[in-house]
Amino acid sequence: MDTVVVVVWLSMVVTILSRSHADRNVYPSAGVLFVHVLEREHFKGEFPPYPKPGDSSNDPITFNTNLMGYPDRPGWLRYIQRTSHSDGVLYGSPTAEHVGKATIIEITAYNRRTFETARHNLVINIMSTEEYPLPYQAEFFIKNMNVEEMLASEVLGDFLGAVKNVWQPERLNAINITSALDRGGRVPLPINNLKEGVYVMVGADVQFSSCLREVENPHNQLRCSQEMEPVISCDKKFRAQFDIDWCKINLVDITKVVMIHSNRPDPGTGVLPDIGEYNPPSESLKSRDFFADFLITLAVPSAVAMVLFTILGYSMCCRREGVDKRNMQTPDIQLVHHSSIQKSTKELRSMSKNREISWPLSTLPVFSQSGEVVPPIHPDNYETTSMPLMQTQTNLQNQIQIPQQQPSGKWYS
């Protein structure tokens, strides 16, 4: 019994020790691309095996990376893992500001099947180099690659070999790799195996070759402005594996940039000079009376409005010419004509009110609601010579009736 307990205790100790990794030290150089792969195979032994043998490799494992004591990574360090069944990659380009400072990255692996975790630390010791920074830097945009594909050592080595063939430098290093999505690019549609694209910056110690300078000639610049592919003589050395957008190549000469910036004045420390202690206002502030401001705000517009209203009222009511003045200025013959027209109009209106005219029969109702025949309003004044539009029932009695068919099929009148 004691032997079984000891075996169980030893197995627990071994499990705990296996999950607490020792710190792993890496020594990247400043100004040179740093790539560290988080392999899933390295963490599979940390988790219990799958019940079915051979299926443990299918466990989904994701990683979380952060600077020790902080929720995120340093600004120069990036991380990417496309799926939970692929390896994670830490990559970036440290600068001279980080030389001599140990950067501890906490790496936590999550098993999405068992919900268990394993953790170890990655200690990044950034070293200085005499070659930093390389004076001539060129940034290429590769359209047919994703960032995790470009970070693979064999693919990156093939690209640096192609660049070295067209540049012929003595020292050539990959400085940085950036996904096109981090530069504002859009996620491509999942058709035709489209890629996101990746920017690769390399540095060398010699001047740019004539092939790289061909992008700057006016003919190629015109083609780029028209969204056409420029004519580059050394493009065939890349085309077999890398589809480069030559219109987006960026050539930087650091020596000229430093000379331009050296003429600028020293920006200073950014700390304001000491002007004494800050004296905040006292808590016992006097209350301000806004009654005078209120009166001024209302009195001035009200006074202006009253003046304008008075002027408008005087112009509309007190400055009218009147009918008498108008008649005095009108010629007599015109007044006579006007008065005669008015008299004639009044006479015609009075005559039209007094005359009695029968309504047309077409406008009168033929039947009432009870079904009785309605006699005409003016039977005495009705003239037989004028045929109405619609005859009444009394006028239809003397007309010949249309024969109708009986059920037996005989006609009758």
Instruction: List the domain boundaries for the chain.
Output: 18-125, 136-262
pLDDT tens figures, 310-322: 999 888 887 766 6
> DSSP assignment, residue 222?
H
Give dist(CA 73, CA 89) in Å, integer: 13
CA distance 39 to 59: 13
Q: How many helices (H) and strands (E) does the chain have?
A: 11, 13
| Structural fold of domain 18-125 | Immunoglobulin-like (2.60.40)
Q: What is the pLDDT of residue 46?
A: 76
Q: What is the pLDDT of residue 412?
A: 41
Residues in the chain with pLDDT values less than 70: 1-22, 50-57, 257-272, 320-322, 355-413
Q: What are phi and psi of 226, to 5 degrees?
A: -95, 15
| DSSP β-ladder status, 411-412 and 404-405 | antiparallel
- Tell me what pLDDT residue 122 has: 92
Q: Which residue in this structure is represented by tokens 């005859």?
A: 391
Q: Is the peptide bond before 133 cis (omega within 30 degrees of 0)?
A: yes
CA distances from 288 to 35, 190, 282, 291, 293 (A): 67, 68, 15, 9, 11
Peptide bond into 51 cis (omega under 30): no
For residue 105, the model assigns a pLDDT of 93
pLDDT score at 266:
65
Closest to 47 (Cα-Cα) out of 119, 123, 105: 119
Contact 335, 327 (CB under 8 A): yes
The CA-based diameter of the chain, rounded to the nearest angstrom, is: 145
Amino acid at 171: R
**Which residue type, as a one-letter code, is found at position 358?**
S
Q: Is 203 helix (H, G, I), strand (E, B) or coil?
A: strand
pLDDT of residue 376: 52
At 360, the amino acid letter reads P
